[in-house]
Structure 1
Amino acid sequence: MKILIPLDGSAGSLHAVDYVASHRQLFGETPVILLLNVQWKVATGNVKLFINQDTINDYYREQGMLALQPARDVLDAAALPYQYHVSVGTPSDAIAQYACEQGVDQIVMCRQGQGGLQTFLLGSVVTKVLHLAECPVLLVK
């Protein structure tokens, strides 16, 4: 079974990783775990006039790896193999697209991420993923 766990770097998003690690027997044989962090695109408008693309790409990579590291630590401690990826764009669209491209059997995500004003302004990523994903989505508290 191929499981995608999207992570936004919040403590809440780690609940999905903890759930998969502690309930691995529910997924049959050792699952193929894919960790995904999606960075919001910051290089819009005139930003590229002042910052070169390599610097922007380095920023995305660094921020993505920071968000993924706690999940990687949990899976390393549980001796579960995984792959990780950092993508750039709108989180809900990128999650659904990556799940489709990778042939994911299930998305496991926390029902609440960074939230706050961002959720109010942009809507819930979880709600959008539920509508866009072509595979089952398991929400973890």
Structure 2
Amino acid sequence: MFEKILLATDGSETALKAARAAGDLAAKVNGVITLLFVMEPFNEMAYISLPGYELGIDPEKVERFQRESAHAVLERTAEVIKATGAVFSSRYEIGAPPAVIVSVAETESFDVIVIGSRGRGPLASFLLGSVCDRVVHRAHCPVLVIK
């Protein structure tokens, strides 16, 4: 039933728990995981220079930083999945995380999305993170939320 699993990660501790759960699920059903990390695009307008002050933002350095950050998140998450023995592949996209996650899940016909929730305090622990919440409400397939 859940043989094609999309695991959305941001590298957080909750996302690593989700990776363990996805790996365990995939191992039980002979499923395959696609590990997806989505990074917000660099917003150059947020760094407009003030008169007389040049920020000196180098788009190539920003792109390299994004790639290196994505690689680090994917590697850390991959280690968790490897420990479960599950089969997986990794990918990195740039865009609005909820929209990209939902789009990839739908266009590539995933059976389930696995994603971590997040809690920032006693009250927030009852609430889903904004990315998770948007994915849950927009996804065409079941979403397994891990706390």
The two structures share one fold, judged by TM-score above 0.5: yes
How far is 1:133 from its partner?
1.1
Change in 2 beyond 3 A, CA 1:124/1:20: same
Distance 1:19 1:39 in 2: 22
**Greater mean alpha carbon deviation, residues 77-86 or residues 88-97:** 77-86
User: What's the offset of the Cα at 1:130?
Assistant: 1.1
The range that moved more, 55-64 or 130-139, is: 55-64
Q: How many residues align?
A: 133
Please tell me whether residue 130 in structure 1 is matched to residue 132 in structure 2.
Answer: no
76-85 vs 42-51, which moves further: 42-51
TM-score normalised by the chain length of structure 1:
0.80
- Please state how far the C-alpha of 1:101 moved relative to its aligned partner: 2.5
Question: How far, CA to CA, are the matches of 2:26 and 2:9 in structure 1?
Answer: 18
Tell me the TM-score normalized by structure 2.
0.77
CA distance, structure 2, for counterparts of residue 92 and residue 57 of structure 1: 21
2:13 counterpart SS class: coil
Distance 2:104 2:89 in 1: 13
Segments of 5+ residues of structure 2 without an aligned counterpart are 49-54
SS at match of 2:33: strand
Unpaired stretches in structure 1, ≥5 consecutive residues: none
SS in 2 for 1:41: coil
Larger Rg: 2
**Deviation digits for residues 77-119 of structure 1 (CA, Å, limit 9, x no counterpart):** 3332211111111111111111122221100111227x68xx9
